[in-house]
Every structure is written in C-alpha cells, then in structure tokens.
Amino acid sequence: MRLINTTTLQVVEFLSIDIPPYAILSHTWGSEEVTFRDMVLRTGDLAVEASKRIEQKAGFIKIQRSCEIAKRDGFEYIWNDTCCIDKESSAELSEAINSMYRHYGGSGVCYAYLVDVSRDVFLREIQDDGSGHETMSASLWNSRWFTRGWTLQELLAPSNIVFYDKDWLEIGTRTSLAELLVSVITRIPAPVLTGDQDLKSCSIAQRMSWAAERRTTRAEDLAYCLMGIFGVGMPTLYGEGAIRAFIRLQEEIIKYNDDGTIFAWRASSNTTPLSHFTSSPKALLEILWIGSWGWP
C-alpha cells in the first residue's frame, strides 16, 4: 500500500504488515488530478520543471491541503486514490479496486472534500426554521460528491468522516450531519451513518438501491464500486459493459448470502429479462418504493 508522507509529500510504499496509521481523502475527480507517475516524476533527479508544472495543478493543491489537515490531526501519512495507485498497471488497478473498501475502513479518519460547497452558504441554509428543526441544505443536496458511485462506499466504510468545503473549512462529521444526509440525499438510515446499526443488517436490495441514482465515469464501475459494500471481490474487466459487470456482481453476492431480496426486482414492461438478476440498481429502488420493505 502506498501512502503520502504528510510532511514531505512523497509517496512511500508499505508492506501490508507494516502499514502505519493513516488518514484518507474522499473527493470527486477534476481535470487536473495528480497521478502516481506525476508524483514519481516530481521527486526525480531532473524534476525542477516537472515539479513546477505538477505543483500548479489543482489536484496538487488538494494533496497539500489534505496533508496539512492530516498532519494537524496527528497523522504522518494519508492515502489519495489519484496518486497512490499506479493506474497504468491493470493488475494493480484491479487489486486496488478490490481493496478500496478496506482502505477506507482501515483509515483513522476520512476527509470528504466537497469542492462545490461553501461552508458559509451551508450554514445559512440549515438555520433553524423556527419550528425547532434545521432545514435541508440545497448546496449539500446538489453537491457532486453525493452523486458519484465511488463515494458511496467512501461514505460507509470509514469509522470517522469529516466533511470539508471548497476552502477546506470543516462543515461537520458524518455523525453530526446524519439526519441531513439521510433525510433526502442518500436514503441511508441514520443509524447506519452514525454506526448504531450494522450495515449488514440492511437487505441486499436496500443497499443496492442506495446506488440507484449515482453515476460513474466508466460504465462497469457502477458494479465494481459496490463490491466492498457486499463483502465480495471479482476481477475488473473494463470493456465487458455495465450489464455484464452488474450481473457478475450479483453472482458473487449470492455465493455468500441467501438474502432473497436480490431477486426482488421488476423488469420494465417493454423488455425481456436477460437473467434472474437485474441489470441496474434502479429496478431495486422502484420495487422497494412500492413493496413491503418500504422506503429504503
């Protein structure tokens, strides 16, 4: 496992038995992310010009700020998916995707960086409406972080999450924001977010439904990003297509789980099912809405 030293900003590799305590970053990717190759190039012997170019990227500033916060919180290392994985190696990428849930679950703290949210606006939005209840935050509701497939497991796996706005000002923790998060944005029960309810106590259909309105850049990733939530692993085969990837995911799930809700979906009236499995999480969201399980 590679980690970034929060003082030197150099990437260091550790054996699985020697991994030190670390923080972890959850974020949405932009157009100027820093890759593993960039980090290697930046520390090379002839890296002066390359370093200047790399360090001007928005992604590098994100690395700097997350390292500053992690160091302040007592962490010597932090993990960032953009530059701690060599994505030019398909074998390493597949291994990393299968390990992602464990990476987030093993962190001491997860910093969720919401690049499109302002703390000042957020605080104004959630002011008490006079009835004793806080109101929903439109900026939180509209944040891209809550629409991406990969950030679902990043919300669920860590034991501790702290949310930061675009200027790296703290918004709140997963526990303190649980009611706001669950009310409309994620449909995840508040006790799951606060740690009072085991994730595994939620049915397969319910867990899958949480991904129904999320998106991934690569079609297959909508299946791959859910592996950790169900405790399964499988090879990543980019090019197989979203439907095949999602069916393979369900095939893996039923090997270890006898929860029949995985089959509780309904095909649309103008299509013929390709198998006993659904081709996307959306069908499970629809059946949960009208079925005996109620709103997920």
Domain extent for 230:
202-296
200 Cβ contact partners less than 8 Å away, ≥ 6 residues apart: 231
Q: For residue 116, what pLDDT is reported? A: 96
Please tell me the pTM assigned to this model. 0.89
Tell me 33's DSSP state: P
CA distance 249 to 153: 15
Query: Is a pLDDT exceeding 50 seen at residue 296?
Result: no
Final residue in a domain of this structure, among 201, 222, 254: 201
Tell me, yes or no, whether 52 and 74 share the same domain: yes
Final residue in a domain of this structure, among 146, 168, 201: 201
Confidence of residue 164 (pLDDT cuts 50, 70, 90): very high
Final residue in a domain of this structure, among 170, 201, 232: 201
Tell me, yes or no, whether 217 and 290 share the same domain: yes
Mean pLDDT, the chain, as a whole number? 87
Instruction: Give the count of domains, the chain.
Output: 2
% of the chain at pLDDT higher than 70: 84
What is the pLDDT averaged over residues 17-29?
Answer: 97
Tell me, yes or no, whether 96 and 115 share the same domain: yes
What is the pLDDT averaged over residues 82-94?
Answer: 94
Tell me, yes or no, whether 194 and 237 share the same domain: no
What is the pLDDT averaged over residues 148-156?
Answer: 97
What is the pLDDT averaged over residues 73-81?
Answer: 98
Of 82, 55, 77, 72, which is closest to residue 164 (Cα–Cα)? 72
